[in-house]
């Protein structure tokens, strides 16, 4: 699985070049795109086109070649294979047949955007492309709203405005970054709150190029939210205590809610002591 540049050809790795030059064939999505890349580096290897429309037909042929011992490299049009790109089924089936699969890592738009977005990166969720239908897109965003992590989305330019508006409505006015045309001539990073980014877009002509949208995690709970949470915990504890021992009730509620055992235990003791009625 060979990663290739996401724009700037200088980002090819030494190992990617060596592997692409050495394999029996290169599996690619689009022979024109990969042909151009290989020519640029003076590499001449046979290409095998594999994409979602011919995957079912071509996959058995690829697996047969792997079984014969051929060395095949899989590349995406750009970046890391399997990241919002085909490849996963093939990797899975190769592995299930005992074919060794190796990563030749390199550029990835999501990781490049995370590295420059200035938002927390200790925990992130890669969403990739949202569904194109509005209702499905909004449903997905509603699910993501509760995820306590930075979110990474890929988006097409003509949908950026609508997506930002839906994000603002369903996720709140989060800090965000639009990373456009990373590593390319017209690379641009915009940082700001969703509302401001959206307002700036409204003043301009439609954005162009490839882009990653990074959204910061949800804000810390409002004061008072914790009280509401404690009420819900007490309620869950009362129910669990009705069914079993204090120890089991604490374990059950902590596991269900993800709240620490010590905090749940303290609340349980309060309840048992009758402090809360
Ligand atoms: N496999 C690729 C990777 O590792 O990032 C992603 C492929 S996905 C089909 C293409 C999407 O990735 C684009 O629509 C855009 O959202 C994002 N992308 C790819 N190259 C980019 C770049 N140079 N700058 C910003 N986003 C990019």
Q: Give pLDDT tens digits for 48-86.
A: 999 989 999 999 999 999 999 999 999 999 999 999 998
Distance 211 CA to ligand 1 centre (A): 7
Q: Is residue 2 part of a domain?
A: no
CB distance 124 to ligand 1 below 6 Å: no
Number of domains, the chain: 3
87 in contact with ligand 1, CB cutoff 6 A: no
DSSP 8-state code for residue 111: H
Strands 175-180 and 150-155: unpaired
**Of 96, 124, 141, which marks where a domain is finished?**
96
Shared-domain flag, residues 201 and 230: no
Q: Which of 1-10, 13-22, 117-126, 252-261 has the lowest mean pLDDT?
A: 252-261
Is pLDDT of 39 > 60? yes
Q: Is residue 4 part of a domain?
A: no
Closest atom of ligand 1 to 113 CA is: 25
Residue 214's nearest CA partner among 138, 144, 158 is 144
Residues spanned by the domain of 177: 109-215
Please give the backbone phi and psi of residue 227, each rounded to the nearest 5 degrees, phi first: -60, -45
> Which of 173, 209, 175, 203 minimizes the C-alpha distance to 190?
175
Q: What is the CATH number of the domain that holds 126?
A: 3.30.950.10
d(CA 191, ligand 1 centre) in Å? 19
List C-alpha distances in Å: 59 to 10, 27, 93, 170, 247. Answer: 31, 11, 9, 40, 53
């Amino acid at each position: 699985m060979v990663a290739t540049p996401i724009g700037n050809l200088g980002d090819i790795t030494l190992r990617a070049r060596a592997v692409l030059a050495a394999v029996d064939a290169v599996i690619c999505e689009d022979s024109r795109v990969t042909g151009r890349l290989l020519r640029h580096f003076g590499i001449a290897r046979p290409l095998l086109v594999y994409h979602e429309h011919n995957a079912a037909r071509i996959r058995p042929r690829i697996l047969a070649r792997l079984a014969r011992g051929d060395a095949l490299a899989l590349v995406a049009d750009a970046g890391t294979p399997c990241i919002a790109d085909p490849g996963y089924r093939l990797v899975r089936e190769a592995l299930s047949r005992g074919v060794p699969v190796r990563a030749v890592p390199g550029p990835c738009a999501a990781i490049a955007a995370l590295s420059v977005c200035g938002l927390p990166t200790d925990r992130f969720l890669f969403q990739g492309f949202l569904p194109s239908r509005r209702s499905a897109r909004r449903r997905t965003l509603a699910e993501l709203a509760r995820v306590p992590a930075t979110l990474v989305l890929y988006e097409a330019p003509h949908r950026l405005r609508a997506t930002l508006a839906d994000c603002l409505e369903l996720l709140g006015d989060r800090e965000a970054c639009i990373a456009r045309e990373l590593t390319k001539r017209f690379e641009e990073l915009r940082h700001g709150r969703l509302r401001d980014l959206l307002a700036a877009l409204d003043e301009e002509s439609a954005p162009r190029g490839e882009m990653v949208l990074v959204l910061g995690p949800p804000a810390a709970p409002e004061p008072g939210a914790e009280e509401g949470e404690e009420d819900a915990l007490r309620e869950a504890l009362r129910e669990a205590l009705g069914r079993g021992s204090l120890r089991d009730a604490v374990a059950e509620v902590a596991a269900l809610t993800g709240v620490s055992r010590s905090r749940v235990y303290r609340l349980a003791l309060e309840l048992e002591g009758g402090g809360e009625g």
